[in-house]
Amino acid sequence: MPRWKVFLSHHMRWSSTVTQALVLSVITFCVVLPLCCHRLLYSYFFIRSMYLDSMSEDVLRESLSRGQDALHFWQSTSTAVTMSSRFTDIAHHPELLVTVVTTRRNEGRDFHYLLQVMRQLSGILGGCGERRCAEVLICDVESGPQRNEDADLLEAHFKVIRRSPQEQQRSRERINTFEREKRDYVFCLRKGLELVKPKNTIVLEDDALPSQDFFRVVKDLLSRRFALQTLYVKLYHPERLQRYWNPEPYRILEWVGLGLVGATALLLTFPYWNPCSFSFTLSYSHLLFFTIYFMAVAELLGRHYLLEVRRLSPQFYAVCPATECCTPAMLFPGNASLRVAEYLDGSFCVKGNAKDMVLYQMARTIPGERSHSVEPNLITHIGAYSSVRANPSRPKLL
């Protein structure tokens, strides 16, 4: 009998672990995962050509509806009476100050991002007991001739801070978009500190919609030891950048650890429950195979969806080293916001070196400074239309 037939007859029987591993892999990666994940936006199996356009339109419609609802909510007379007394009076030295940075949007005005964010905040601020979870400021950095209408509408309900006319005139000088965005950020940081003198500060951009457990998780984060030794904590990182296959070393360790735990648990289960009569045992080769198997499943499924399990409790949220991108939601513990303002003031921002990159480099190069991110995200980035960058005619989710 030819050697290849001997090999096939020996190794391709169901009792062979090679056959079992091959069949399991084919069924998992060619049948089960494609069927289950082809509509999951952040999975490798997502069929972009079939679903991206329709999903993007659905999200835009939901955001538009939410924006119109928020507009009607803040315009109602009863709301004006009940809400104004709650948020316009700002207490000094609060445990937490939330500053929402906003400007007029030339595109996407009907989405009313700021009104959505403030409605969500007003709903969750009372979830901390007798005292509200935080004091809230709106920082309107619009310096053009037209008013920020959403900020004007909210002025009856929240404290709104703006530059003086002289400062607005100076802010109109010709500088690039990234430098202007940084200066606006620094202004809001400093103004909040000057007016309220909080113990801790959160800065939200006006398209950062907080989650329902936002303040419960922030309170838990501030109670952890790392918070005393960090420059900032990022509360958001783009979902598309949360994969394991990433240059961030801690994610590789998390990935391998997940594979090892899954493989060990499965192999220990087989002696007690094995409906398919697998022949795998707790050996090095089988442990290696299933470690790689679970790592591949986790990556192809999408790390973003695995992180969602952590929302079960504030204590389950993970704190990890900060990544470079994006500052829609930032927590500055203690007096860190003052140091951040000074660091940003000392740098000039341009394309490729925006304020998020400046902060990331500062935290990495200045002795004693550290930066962190929290996972999963504590906000949803709803700003399909940017206020500072060019926009496509119909924004897409990816």
Please report the DSSP string for 220-285 in residue order: HHHHSGGGGG-SEEE----GGG--SSSS-HHHHHHHHHHHHHHHHHHHHHTTT--TT-----S-HH
Q: Under a CB-based contact definition with an 8 Å cutoff, are residues 60 and 395 in contact?
A: yes
Three-class DSSP category at 134 = coil
pLDDT of residue 294: 98
pLDDT of residue 3: 61
Q: Under a CB-based contact definition with an 8 Å cutoff, are residues 328 and 236 in contact?
A: yes
Q: Under a CB-based contact definition with an 8 Å cutoff, are residues 10 and 19 in contact?
A: no
pLDDT per residue of the chain (398 residues) written in tens, 0 to 9: 456 455 555 556 656 888 899 999 999 999 999 999 999 999 999 999 999 999 999 999 999 999 999 999 999 855 555 555 567 778 889 999 999 999 998 888 999 999 999 999 999 998 887 788 999 999 999 887 788 999 999 998 999 999 887 776 666 677 888 999 999 999 999 999 999 999 999 999 999 999 999 999 999 999 999 998 899 999 999 999 999 988 778 899 999 999 999 999 999 998 888 887 788 889 999 999 999 999 999 999 999 999 999 999 999 999 999 988 889 999 999 989 999 999 999 999 998 899 999 999 999 999 989 999 999 999 999 999 887 777 887 888 88
pLDDT of residue 82: 54
DSSP H stretches of helix in the chain:
3-11, 17-27, 33-37, 48-75, 77-87, 113-124, 149-154, 165-171, 177-196, 214-223, 249-269, 284-301, 303-307, 336-345, 355-365
* DSSP string of 308-327, one letter each residue: GGGGG-GGG-EEEE--SS--
pLDDT of residue 10: 56
Pick one of 1.10.150.120, 2.120.10.30, 1.10.540.10, 3.90.550.10 as the CATH number of 52-241+308-381.
Answer: 3.90.550.10
The residue among 135, 242, 126 whose CA lies nearest residue 195 is 135
Question: Which single residue is written with the structure tokens 């190069």?
Answer: 365
pLDDT of residue 130: 77
